[in-house]
Amino acid sequence: MIRAVVFDIGETLVRDDRYWASWADWLGVSRHTLSALVGAVTAMGLDNAEAVRLLRPGVDLNAERRAREEAGRGEFLDESDLYPDVRPGLRALREAGFRVCVAGNQTARAGDFVRGFDLPADEIAVSEKWGVAKPNPEFFRRVVELGGVAPEETVYVGDHPANDIIPARAAGLRTCLIRRGPWGHLWGNDSAILRSVDWRIDSILELPSLLHGSSEWS
């Protein structure tokens, strides 16, 4: 029985368009170039930050982030970055009696923006505040604590198999792959990935009925 639902942030609740576009503009390259490189390094099994390092070998990403903030071009999110099903989907889950939480690999600044959306969520956490990031098992131990129930009563919803689905399952959580964003679409029909998935969805609005019904992905 599922009692808690914990959501990833990037490309699960929030589009990453603005994030990568702002990095491309800062680096002085076309948005298409950086976007293509992000896809390439991820498909190679590398962290997506390697795309920036390809453009600026030896770059200190933390220093670059600070420089962007000092220049007034730091990370930013607003309501338009949310996927349209987020508010109604999270609200429907809470109304159905589930504890709803959010936990993703984000900066503290991004976490503040997400909290500012006043989403229908019980808790919101980000990796920079925790001091540990996905796919580290400690991150998912924190996810279980955040959900407040047993791992097998908690489902983690995300778009990225290597960061979300596989490590969540290894930690004993149930898993849900959302087919959106580049990674959700890239791996959404991969039979090897789907062996680690309990549910597969296109919209958060599907979850309330799925979690009260079949335990098989569809």
Would you say the pTM of this structure is higher than 0.85?
yes
**pLDDT number for residue 28:** 95
Q: Cα dist. 184→38, 79, 148 in Å?
A: 14, 22, 27
Cα dihedral 9, 54, 18, 35, rounded to 10, equals -90
Residue position matching structure tokens 């690999």? 105
C-beta of residue 109 within 8 angstroms of C-beta of residue 136: no
What are 129-179's pLDDT values in tens digits? 999 999 999 999 999 999 999 999 999 999 999 999 999 999 999 999 999
Whether residue 19 is predicted with pLDDT greater than 70 in this model: the reply is yes
Dihedral sign for Cα atoms in the order 34, 39, 41, 46: positive
How much is the mean pLDDT over the chain? 93
The arithmetic mean of pLDDT across residues 56-61, rounded, is 93
